[in-house]
């Protein structure tokens, strides 16, 4: 009897081990059809968003011409240099909720004459309007990026927005074009992308979708085209899973009147956001689960859009996305400053992989926000900057910009936690004009590596290189004291033979392969 019990125990242990419960590695297979791509991944999917919020604008971009911090025309040189390295394709401004209380004429002319206001949305601080229209376009010029202007529908007027378009885009003889010239800008800026309001279901006016759709048509009608730059107008879309908002807008707004329809979706638990660092595995898994659930929500919005627009002429614009946690202790709660960890690199990587895969409908996305706010790419403090893990994802993933999406099939094990599970891996593939295939992979498992196979079909390849982003702990992050805790390094633990890459992908890591 005793021997039988021993045998049973040993057999149970062997079966448990063979099931993989003690294994610290799993498997993943990726098939990339390198000759079947047809859709282009718009560079604008890798766009950014900067609002008059906290230290995003003031201290983030703008320090003024007289600052001791090195600057060009008042704009920080270090921030510009860093953003140019990620090929920043566009920048959305001035908000956000701030856009629907912003009156553009307060931000033009001599700075000493500009009226001050209270930023009622974000911290109740004084906004001195020293960074306005001309300063924003100087920033875009230095970044060599396309501006995305969000107009005031909530507290503004049709006339106000119409005249802002004229001020910015008209080269005619007209009061607004003449005013711009008086303020030092002879030629128009020719801005194409215009958001008509922001979050009009909430901070932008608490409107119903029916009321907003009617207002959109009014405002859009008087946003005129000047010269050869046809405006690409973006209607203010839904909040998270408000599918009725999308339905009403797609039904009531003539499609020729809108280039895109926006959607805002943050990875957060609004009732209990949790800390940005020092989080448990419970928090980690829940955050990833929420990030992945976004995909189903967006897919449903796109299904509604397909119903009214099967030819996909109206773009889906995810112009606010990212992680949202509790602010850092001791900071102004209205400034939305939060630390940025390896977990946030995974959120960025998973989200961008998904946006790439839906590039037939998603034509623009803007992470919130670029500097010092929410899931920021850059932190600034006086004359110092820190590049966050999210920054490094955008730098690694820039190879996908304007590349052709490649059909990619993934089979992988799951990351299981407390009777729940999600895919351990996330992947996206593209091919650039020079024929280089790019494969970006995220391994979210905190403990298990993945014995990975990448099967490249339809194209003969002979060499590959890769970079990896990882760290010892999930909440590792870069600080002003230790700015390089997390940064990309070369990854060489792989082999390429007969068009197949075999690799051991470490736990909690992101890898981007470039294959020729």
For residue 325, give the nearest of 390, 269, 381, 242 by alpha carbon. Answer: 269
- Collapsing DSSP to helix, strand or coil, 347 comes out as helix
What whole-number distance in Å separates Cα of residue 349 and Cα of residue 398? 11
E strands along 67-177, which residues? 71-72, 75-76, 90-93, 117-118, 126-127, 146-151
Q: Is 382 a catalytic residue?
A: no
As a three-state string, the secondary structure of 378-395 is EEEECCEEEECHHHHHHH
Q: Is 138 a catalytic residue?
A: no
Burial 24-62 (b: 16+ CB within 10 A, else e): ebbebebebbbeebebebbbbbbbbbbbbbbbbbbbbbb
Asked if residue 397 lies in contact with residue 352, where contact means CB atoms within 8 angstroms, the answer is yes
Enter the DSSP assignment of 100. G
Q: What angle do CA 469, 471, 475 make, to 5 degrees?
A: 115
Q: Which stretch of DSSP H or E encloses residue 408?
A: strand 408-412
What whole-number distance in Å separates Cα of residue 314 and Cα of residue 316? 7
Beta bridge partners of 90: 146
Phi, psi (degrees; rounded to nearest 5) at 323: -90, 145
What whole-number distance in Å separates Cα of residue 402 and Cα of residue 408? 17
**Which candidate in 199, 286, 357, 395 is catalytic?**
199
**Which candidate in 127, 320, 357, 395 is catalytic?**
320
What whole-number distance in Å separates Cα of residue 372 and Cα of residue 385? 10
Q: Which residue stretches of 426-509 are H helix?
A: none
What whole-number distance in Å separates Cα of residue 124 and Cα of residue 425? 43
For residue 366, give the nearest of 183, 220, 193, 134 by alpha carbon. Answer: 193
Q: ω before 94 within 30° of 0 (cis)?
A: yes
What whole-number distance in Å separates Cα of residue 39 and Cα of residue 360? 6
Active site residues: 199, 320
């Amino acid at each position: 009897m005793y021997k039988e019990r021993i045998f049973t125990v040993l057999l149970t242990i062997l079966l448990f081990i063979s099931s993989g419960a003690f294994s610290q590695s799993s498997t993943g297979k990726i098939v990339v059809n390198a000759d079947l791509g047809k859709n282009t991944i718009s560079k604008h999917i890798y766009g950014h968003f900067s609002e008059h919020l906290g230290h995003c604008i003031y201290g983030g971009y703008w320090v003024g011409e007289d600052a001791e911090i090195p600057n060009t025309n008042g704009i920080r040189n270090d921030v510009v240099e860093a953003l140019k390295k990620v090929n920043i394709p566009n920048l959305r401004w001035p908000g956000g909720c701030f856009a629907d209380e912003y009156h553009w004429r307060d931000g033009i002319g001599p700075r000493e004459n500009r009226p001050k206001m209270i930023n009622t949305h974000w911290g109740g601080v004084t906004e001195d309007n020293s960074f306005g229209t001309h300063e924003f376009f100087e920033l875009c010029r230095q970044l060599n990026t396309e501006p995305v202007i969000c107009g005031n529908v909530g507290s503004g007027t049709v006339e106000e927005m119409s005249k802002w378009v004229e001020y910015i885009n008209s080269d005619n003889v007209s009061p607004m074009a003449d005013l711009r010239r008086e303020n030092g800008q002879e030629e128009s800026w020719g801005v194409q992308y215009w958001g008509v309001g922001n979050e009009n279901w909430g901070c932008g006016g608490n409107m119903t979708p029916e009321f907003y759709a009617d207002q959109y048509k009014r405002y859009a009608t008087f946003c005129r085209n000047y010269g050869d730059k046809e405006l690409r107008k973006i209607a203010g879309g839904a909040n998270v899973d408000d599918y009725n908002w999308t339905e009403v807008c797609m039904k009531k707004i003539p499609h020729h009147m809108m280039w895109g329809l926006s959607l805002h979706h943050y990875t957060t638990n609004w009732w209990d956001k949790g800390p940005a660092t020092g989080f448990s595995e419970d928090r980690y898994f829940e955050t990833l689960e929420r990030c992945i659930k976004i995909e189903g929500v967006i897919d449903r919005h796109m299904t509604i859009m397909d119903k009214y627009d099967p030819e996909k002429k109206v773009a889906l614009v995810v112009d606010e996305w990212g992680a949202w946690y509790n602010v850092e202790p001791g900071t102004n709660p209205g400034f939305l400053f939060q630390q940025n960890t390896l977990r946030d690199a995974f959120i960025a990587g998973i989200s961008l992989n998904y946006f790439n895969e839906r590039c037939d409908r998603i034509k623009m996305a803007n992470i919130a926000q670029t500097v010092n706010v929410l899931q920021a790419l850059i932190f600034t403090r006086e004359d110092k900057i820190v590049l966050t893990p999210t920054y490094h994802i955008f730098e690694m993933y820039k190879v996908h910009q304007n590349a052709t999406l490649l059909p990619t099939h993934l089979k992988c094990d799951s990351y299981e936690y407390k009777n729940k599970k999600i895919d351990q891996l996330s992947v996206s593939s593209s091919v650039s004009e020079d024929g280089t295939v790019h494969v970006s992979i995220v391994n979210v498992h905190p403990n298990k590596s993945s014995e990975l196979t990448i099967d490249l079909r339809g194209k003969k390849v002979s060499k590959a290189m890769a970079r990896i982003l990882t760290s010892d702990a999930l909440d590792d992050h870069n600080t002003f004291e230790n700015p390089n805790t997390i940064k990309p390094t070369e990854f060489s633990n792989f082999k390429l033979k007969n068009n197949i890459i075999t690799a051991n992908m470490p736990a909690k890591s992101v890898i981007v392969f470039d294959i020729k």
